[in-house]
Amino acid sequence: MNEFNAIINTTVTMLILMAIGFAASKFRVIDETASKNLSALIVNVGQPFLMVSSLVNAEFSIENLKTGAGVIAIAAAVHLIAILISQGVTAGFKNTNEKQITRYGMVFANNAFYGFPILKAVFGDVGVFWGSFYCVVFNLLCWTWGIFVISRANKEIRTSPRKLFLNIGTLSVLLGVVLYVTRCEVHESVRSALSYAGGLCTPISMLLVGAALSRLSFKKMFASGGVYLTCLIKLVVLPLVCGGLAKLIGLPQEMVLFSAIMAGMPTAAVTEAFAEKYDVAPGYASTLVGMTALLSVATVPLVVLIFK
């Protein structure tokens, strides 16, 4: 019941923020220029600070460090499986923009804002600790493979190995890991500032999702098969495959459940922010975020029941 309440509360919060963004766009408070600027704020400020903040606030011990390494391995495996599946099921897409955003949306999930309350309800505080390490892999891939995927849809986005592996996202992950491992003393005021800056991600992302949806017709919003395919893969196939494989190779039961939950989270809200920033089907990206969030109210409790 705690898990179900966490899912309902988190989803309703996301939908309310989307509704506010929808209304703000209709009243011209958030126009397309504002959307692009706010997307840049999330990508270049919110996400990097969120990563550093999550690790700075994590409790350090040698045992926790070993556990964190195991979680990183699980996260890498989940993302690799998602990448392989997304590459296969979208191979026949004709619309390049939707193809690349679908691949991005299938791989990257709302593991922090959506996942952390559910992890806390299922596992307690240790679940949030695991989630922080899981997000290390999320952020590294988001700023490397993720940028590469989106760049395939927009030739004006110039990438190079140096830009993909040395950017504000990857460097923030490195900084967070260094601060965690070395246990460098960080003043409380700095911790608070990091948390506030990282906290920009979710509310602004969901406002932008709602704003982008306001610019689409409902017919266009629900006409793409890619939306339904993403919902099926993201919310059903991935958690069953990842949870099943974790059980098959003999991981502890709590890690089997953890793997399934994190694999079955809805599409990451920053999908729309990256789509908006690089001008690659932002309306379609918003639909992926909104639909997977809505349907996850039914699918996530089922995933928990199956693997618990």
How many Cβ atoms are within 10 Å of 134's Cβ, its own excluded?
27
How many Cβ atoms are within 10 Å of 184's Cβ, its own excluded?
9
Convert the pLDDT of each residue in 105-123 to its tens digit: 999 998 887 888 888 888 8
How many Cβ atoms are within 10 Å of 177's Cβ, its own excluded?
18
Question: What are the helix (H) ranges across 27-114?
Answer: 32-41, 47-56, 62-89, 96-107
Choose the CATH number for 2-307 among 1.20.1530.20, 3.40.50.970, 2.30.330.10, 3.40.50.300: 1.20.1530.20
pTM (2 d.p.): 0.86
How many Cβ atoms are within 10 Å of 188's Cβ, its own excluded?
7
Do residues 52 and 179 make contact, with C-beta atoms less than 8 angstroms apart?
A: yes
Residues 68, 66, 186: CA angle, nearest 5 degrees:
60
Domain ranges of the chain: 2-307
Residues 129, 197, 122: CA angle, nearest 5 degrees:
25
Residue 176 pLDDT > 90: no
267: DSSP letter: B
Convert the pLDDT of each residue in 180-206 to its tens digit: 888 778 788 988 998 898 888 888 888
End-to-end Cα spacing for the chain? 13
* 3-class secondary-structure state, position 188: helix
Do residues 8 and 297 make contact, with C-beta atoms less than 8 angstroms apart?
A: yes
